Structure 1
Amino acid sequence: MTSRKATPDDISDICLALPEVELGTSWGDRPTYKVPRGDKGKGFLLHRRAHRSAVDPVTGEMYDDLLVIHTPTLEDKEALVADPRLPFFTVDHFDGFKAVLVQESRLGEVDLEELTEIITDAWASKAPKRLVREFFAKGSTDG
């Protein structure tokens, strides 16, 4: 199986292919993928507004293309941040928060298959347990 690198366009496709996902808003007006649909939806991936807590160390400019992707555990977060192959990082503002940051412009450094797995884990960490059981019982590779 040949793997290709991810692109920003893949984010919506990956998220919306998961059961009971809708694109809504959180943190005010930020586009956020939530599960399940409706009022009880919990965000698992969101587009973060540029903020002084996340600044490019080279240019000093605030990142304006950040995604926040939830992780199931702090250990999962640390593993993604520590992997030198991957562009995931964190900032002090997210200390103790189970999520990683990634610039959309750097998604090409991640294989689509790996990004799909990371986003699926984020979805599973927020989705109702019944939905997660059904999804993995059915086989997440279907589709």
Structure 2
Amino acid sequence: MNPARSPARVEDVHALAAGMPHVTAVEGPKGNTVYQVGGKSFVFFRTPRPDARDPETGERYTDVIMFWVESEEDKDALVRDPSTPFFTTPHFDGHLSVLLRAAHLERISRDELAEIVQDAWLSRASQRRRERWLAGRA
């Protein structure tokens, strides 16, 4: 099987985010990893929060990953598409990000995850860095 088409894993999130240019991985206050470009987060491993809970048990999810998006339209497309595992909560109304539980990463391919991570990076990188990266891919 082509590894790019294989189901995405948490290790892939780390590898893809860390592999983008000018990225710094910082540790959040509770030991969670935050990937930044130019001091701006673009992929963020969340700590358990009251806004993301199991509907049956009420337990807070411990595996939520946040990805920044370029626009409300991009967010809406990901969240409203029932074929994707992306979601949001009222806490993130008006925030340009989507959430994904690590337990549901296998519902997307590594290729799809790479596109999400790249788009997250592009949404937060400076114009100069975006232009340089995109020109290098042409």
What is the TM-score with the length of structure 2 in the denominator? 0.91
**Corresponding pairs, count:** 135
SS of the aligned residue for 1:57 comes to: coil
Determine which of 20, 26, 31 is the counterpart of 1:24: 26
TM-aligned CA deviation for residue 31 of structure 1: 1.8
- Structure 1 distance, partners of 2:23, 2:81, is 28
Q: Which 5+ residue runs of structure 2 have no aligned equivalent? A: none
- Structure 2 distance, partners of 1:113, 1:31, is 22
TM-aligned CA deviation for residue 83 of structure 1: 1.2
- Structure 1 distance, partners of 2:27, 2:90, is 24
SS of the aligned residue for 1:101 comes to: strand
- Structure 2 distance, partners of 1:137, 1:84, is 33
TM-aligned CA deviation for residue 59 of structure 1: 2.3
TM-aligned CA deviation for residue 4 of structure 1: 1.2
Aligned to 1:83: 81
Q: How does 1:41-52 map to 2 (within 5 A)?
A: 41-52=39-50
What is the TM-score with the length of structure 1 in the denominator? 0.88
* Letter aligned with residue 108 of structure 1: E
Instruction: Tell me the alpha carbon deviations over residues 29-67 of structure 1, each in whole angstroms, 9 at most, x when there is no partner.
Output: 44200003xxxx100011111011111112211100000
- Structure 2 distance, partners of 1:66, 1:48, is 5
* Letter aligned with residue 6 of structure 2: R
* Letter aligned with residue 97 of structure 2: A
* Letter aligned with residue 91 of structure 1: T
Instruction: Tell me the alpha carbon deviations over residues 109-135 of structure 1, each in whole angstroms, 9 at most, x when there is no partner.
Output: 011111110110110111111111111
Q: Which 5+ residue runs of structure 1 have no aligned equivalent? A: none
Identity %: 36
SS of the aligned residue for 2:66 comes to: strand
- Structure 1 distance, partners of 2:9, 2:120, is 18
* Letter aligned with residue 89 of structure 1: F
Runs of 4+ in 1 over 6 A off after TM superposition: none
Aligned to 1:12: 14
Compare 92-101 and 50-59 and name the one that shifted more.
50-59
